[in-house]
Amino acid sequence: MTQPAGDFKRAGGKFTLHSDTPVSNVGPLNYVSEEVTRLWQLLPQKVLGPDQAVTVDDALRAITIDAACQTFSDDKVGSLEVGKQADLVILEKNPRQTPPAEIRNIKVKGAWVDGKPVNLN
């Protein structure tokens, strides 16, 4: 979470989000929440680099198409387009309409890998 995502965005660059365990908990929605709020999850909680915060849309892009681009697989995954693998999740709430600090608590209701539903249990 200490990465300068805001600086990258302002410079026109792409960035991705990942776990910085134990600074941040593992999980893409954790990464989104943390990058938008810049709230460190260890005690004592504090905001790290508030000038590096990005929008929810920027953070979602960082865990999808920009992450796929970083691994040179954006021709196969990272966005829903004809000819791609159709990996996706259905969330119980819209992250764009959820308070940023609560995005981490959104539950995954369903998942598809390569266009096929997968069992979440």
Domain boundary assignment for the chain: 5-118
Whether residue 60 has pLDDT greater than 80: yes
pLDDT digits (tens, 9 = 90+) for 12-58: 999 998 776 666 678 899 999 999 999 887 778 889 889 999 999 99
pLDDT digits (tens, 9 = 90+) for 101-110: 999 999 999 9
Helices H, strands E: what count in the chain?
Answer: 4, 3
Mean model confidence pLDDT for the chain: 90
| Confidence label for 79 from pLDDT (cuts 50, 70 and 90) | very high
Whether residue 94 has pLDDT greater than 90: yes
What is the CB neighbour count within 10 angstroms for residue 106? 17
Report CA 101 to chain centroid distance, whole Å: 13
